[in-house]
Amino acid sequence: MELETAVNLNIPIEAHLLRGCCREADRCEIVAMGLDQLRIALPESFHGHLIALTGEIRSSCRLLRDLADRSQVHFSRVPIVANYLNVVLPCLSRTLKDIIGYYEEKTISREMRWRKMYNKMTEEASGLPLPQRFVLYNHFLSLLKQLLTRSPSFELNTLETLRTRILKLREQRGIERTLGGADILPTAAVSNGPETFKTSYGPFYPWGHFTIPPESKILFRRPFDEDRISIVVYLNSVDQSPYLLMRTMQGDIPWFSLFGAHELCINREGSALQLKRWSRHTPVPVADLAQPSL
């Protein structure tokens, strides 16, 4: 992938990589929609592989955003996960960009675009079919989520095995390490990505602003507006109270807002969930959330 030539050294490498999670999640959405349009134009005999591929790409999107959101609560463990994100994100990004290049090739028919994409990308991965390449990415990302949250299901040996496979794929694709081993993702936003969900009011702060006590436990995470905004509810390990961490996007940059449940008035109006800061007078809006996407 193209590497960033100018890096803001005031921003930790972990922040660059977690921002990369959000960026590549946006790119996954764009690629999945592009493949859907390609599938509609092709005979039904091609649909099976295309449906499998787009399903895995959308799973990548969910996993990437989930990792970025949960990293705020498990802040102290982010440097451990970042080492592995540094391996998978450039490879995933290159794969998505290559797919875009194939389905946007206007000089050949749509059927030939798909055939060329599938066969060439399978060949370059030593026979690993294209949908299974995203199965590999998603298994790796799922293990990173377990590593981040200290899941008892986490298996280090499996993670290292998958890491070796991805590094081999990187080598086959000519993706090299720079800056002392760190792969910095490009800062330019993905064009035609989803816009910011306008009905969240904050105030919002950048990644790493909040100090969340170690050993805090995530109770659940809910995406809204096709995961353009999310709520993570966790139990604070110090005061044993529930808190709501909200994430929205400004371009390709995630922004966060944090409130204790005791600070909020939570109401439902039709299919919308309304969060407002508690007040003796008029409650101040925090967010007006659409029906959650499951």
Average pLDDT of the segment spanning 287-294: 54
Q: Where are the beta strands (DSSP E) in the chain?
A: 205-206, 217-224, 229-235, 242-250, 253-260, 264-269, 272-277, 284-289
Per-residue pLDDT, 164: 93
Q: Does the pLDDT at position 282 exceed 60?
A: no
- Model pLDDT for residues 114-143, shown as the tens digit of each residue: 999 999 999 999 999 999 999 999 999 999
Tell me the pLDDT band of 204, cut-offs 50, 70 and 90.
confident
Per-residue pLDDT, 215: 79
* 277 CB-side CA count, 13 A: 11
d(CA 108, CA 47): 19
Average pLDDT, the chain: 79
**Coil, strand or helix at 26:** helix
- Model pLDDT for residues 15-48, shown as the tens digit of each residue: 777 788 989 999 999 999 999 999 999 999 999 9
Average pLDDT of the segment spanning 58-72: 91
Q: Does the pLDDT at position 274 exceed 60?
A: yes
Query: In 104-186, which ranges are continuous DSSP H helix?
Result: 110-124, 130-149, 156-173
What's at 271, amino acid-wise? Answer: S
Average pLDDT of the segment spanning 207-220: 79
Average pLDDT of the segment spanning 246-255: 78
Contact indicator for 111, 37 with CB cutoff of 8 Å: no
